[in-house]
Amino acid sequence: MERRDGAVLVGLIGNGIGSSRTPAMHEAEGAAQGINYRYDLIDTERESAADLGVELARVRAAGFTGVNITHPHKQRVLEHVDVLSEEVSRVGASNTLVFQDGLTHAYNTDFLGFHDAFVSEMAGQPLGRVLLTGAGGAGRAVGMALAQTGVSCLVVADRDAASAVRLAEDVRCGWPDMSVELLDPDDLTGHGFDGIVNATPMGMARYPGMSVPQDLLAGRPWVVDIVYFPLETALLRAARSMGCVTMSGRGMAIMQAVRAFELFTGATADVDRMGAVFDSFGS
């Protein structure tokens, strides 16, 4: 892990990240803009949670400009930062750190990326009662982005009941006029929703399956899955077969990378160009 002179050196810290498309998007955009840019993958799957601070110290010492953070570190990383952006203070999780002036600045481009993608792709869809499965780091960002878009009632379901309660309380605090409910993820059948959002790892190549029973999809106007590897998850495939409007994890993945690139470099990223790199991997 050595810094090249004049390079912008960044990376991704998380578990099981070998299939990430993020490095290619970042490095191609850097090359297109004439920036000497390198993006490393730092897989912590075999390390304990206590090693996160050690890893962050190591990348700072190596001259990294910043790092992206992914599962399972998005909440625990806040123990190691100095300055919280507004969205991190609200969400309580971070996926992007920038090392500047001796301080570690925390951002959440998951929140920003999902919000941008959802507003663009799901414009005009009903936002009355929305089910969110998953209240971890990504789920917190998605839940608050949904609140920001004007959802009337957010229904949170997570097997970690404490995480679901924390998210519900924080959404109520940030959006006091909004209704928030909790449901047991094993007791979703029979409830009505305008839309469903999966913010769990279910559907990823390593975690096959669906976070909701298939019969829950019948009659739902729209379904969103933030998983992007693969893009065609079992949830989206089933939802489309039942006539639901769907949104994959593509838009969020691209927009969070765009926002992170801009934080790391100070340059404006080309969304279409980074999207083309993402698409070059296929589904």
Over the stretch 218-271, which tens digit does the pLDDT of each residue have?
Answer: 999 999 999 998 899 999 999 999 999 999 999 999 999 999 999 999 999 999
Cα dihedral 208→271→1→48 (10° resolution): -30
pLDDT in tens, 99-116: 999 999 999 999 999 999
Greater confidence (135 vs 207) lies with 135
Location of structure tokens 């993958």 = 41
d(CA 140, CA 75): 10
pLDDT value at residue 229: 85
Report the catalytic residues.
Answer: 74
Decide if pLDDT at 75 tops 70: yes
Secondary structure tally for the chain: helices H, strands E: 9, 12
pLDDT in tens, 182-225: 999 999 999 999 999 999 999 998 889 999 999 999 999 999 99
Decide if pLDDT at 134 tops 70: yes
| pLDDT category of residue 5 using cuts at 50, 70 and 90 | low
Degrees, nearest 5: CA angle 256-222-154: 75
pLDDT value at residue 47: 67
What's the predicted TM-score (pTM) here?
Answer: 0.91
Cα 20 to chain centroid distance, Å, stands at 13
Alpha helical stretches, state H, the chain? 22-32, 51-61, 86-91, 109-121, 137-149, 161-174, 234-241, 250-265, 271-279
pLDDT value at residue 213: 96
pLDDT in tens, 50-62: 589 999 999 999 9
Sign of the C-alpha dihedral computed for residues 209, 211, 215 and 221 taken in this order: negative
Cis check: omega of the bond before 176, within 30 degrees of 0: no
Which domains are assigned to the chain? 8-107+252-279 (3.40.50.10860), 111-248 (3.40.50.720)
Q: Report, as an integer, the average pLDDT of 92-98.
A: 97
User: What does each C-alpha distance from 121 to 89, 242, 249, 251 come to in angstroms?
Assistant: 27, 19, 11, 8
